[in-house]
Amino acid sequence: MPKTIKKIGVLTSGGDSPGMNAAIRSVVRTCAYHNIECIGIYRGYQGMIEGDFKDMGPRSVNNIVNKGGTVLKSARSIEFRTPEGRKKAHENLLKAGIDALVVIGGDGSFTGGLLFNNEFDFPVMGIPGTIDNDIFGTSHTLGYDTALNTVVDCIDKIRDTASSHNRLFFVEVMGRDAGHIALNAGIGAGAEEILIPEADLGLERLLDSLKKSKASGKSSSIVVIAEGDKIGKNVFELKDYVEANLPEYDVRVSVLGHMQRGGAPSCFDRVLASRLGVKAVESLIEGKSNYMVGLQNDKVNLTPLEQAIKGKSEIDRELLRVSEIMST
């Protein structure tokens, strides 16, 4: 017989992403719908260790569906990486009468949740929240769609300046290990080249491409670069290399940075968060544990947490081909 769930704790851990608040709202209201208490755990696993808990009801999550970031705050927890820290967290959950956890975050948060479940047999359900879209088992993570729209909007504005001054702009976007943002935003914004970790364009091919662009009559160009691209040590060294080899180009660098993680979530992210929150709570009620809820072929499905952590989110190779054709 599955354990009867009477009280669920929800936390956001690791980096924030647009849509996390919508997911918190969904978890809280789904709990209320099923007559289950919901406890907000502030500052992620660190708050769990310190007992930083607050009762949450349907009215406590009014007017947060449209807000970026996370009302539950987020913090890295070195202490949670120790057996002593996790034991303290478990004792606090038991003391508060919490029966299960919904963890909203990325693979680091899921790794912590999986370890916690293995040690204490405590029910855990994960909701993927990261703008990088680099988690296996879901086509979209919370915040990814919003980040794409933010990046495209920024590149559109940069292009106005690039066209006015006949300049080449290198625009660096987030994506340390995955090029989903760079590839999709690059295509959407009409970038001339897109550099991502999954496809090593190479310095010489980049120079050839820029030469062809200039020869074809393009007076300005946009190159979108994922921060994890391996073509150069960093975007500023890449700028220096291009200027040294193509002196006819006036090169500028724009690093979009953390603005990509902020802002009101898109409608897509709000709806996705609502769907994932409902599925997470109802899966726990059904006695399921150690899963991540995700979107696959527009259906909300469960992926074992271990698989979500160890699996690799693949780049769309057809999109790579599309980007090559569009840069002609």
Q: Which residues are catalytic?
A: 132
Ligand-binding site membership of 175 (annotated): yes
Ligand-binding site membership of 151 (annotated): no
Residues 6+ apart with CB under 8 A from 223: 168, 169, 170, 171, 191, 192, 193, 194, 195, 206, 210
Ligand-binding site membership of 216 (annotated): no
Ligand-binding site membership of 43 (annotated): no
Ligand-binding site membership of 187 (annotated): no
Ligand-binding site membership of 25 (annotated): yes
Ligand-binding site membership of 190 (annotated): yes
Handedness of CA 187, 192, 198, 199 (dihedral sign): positive
Ligand-binding site membership of 87 (annotated): no
Ligand-binding site membership of 317 (annotated): no
Ligand-binding site membership of 14 (annotated): no
Ligand-binding site membership of 84 (annotated): no
Token readout for 311 is: 């699996």
Strands 7-12 vs 168-173: parallel, antiparallel or unpaired: unpaired
Other CB atoms within 10 Å distance of the CB of residue 95: 10
Ligand-binding site membership of 275 (annotated): no
Q: Which residues are annotated as a binding site?
A: 15, 25-29, 76-77, 106-109, 130-132, 159, 167, 174-176, 190-192, 218-220, 227, 252, 258-261
Which residues carry a binding-site annotation for Mg(2+)?
A: 107
Residues that constitute the known binding site for ATP: 15, 76-77, 106-109
User: What residues form the annotated binding site for ADP?
Assistant: 25-29, 159, 190-192, 218-220
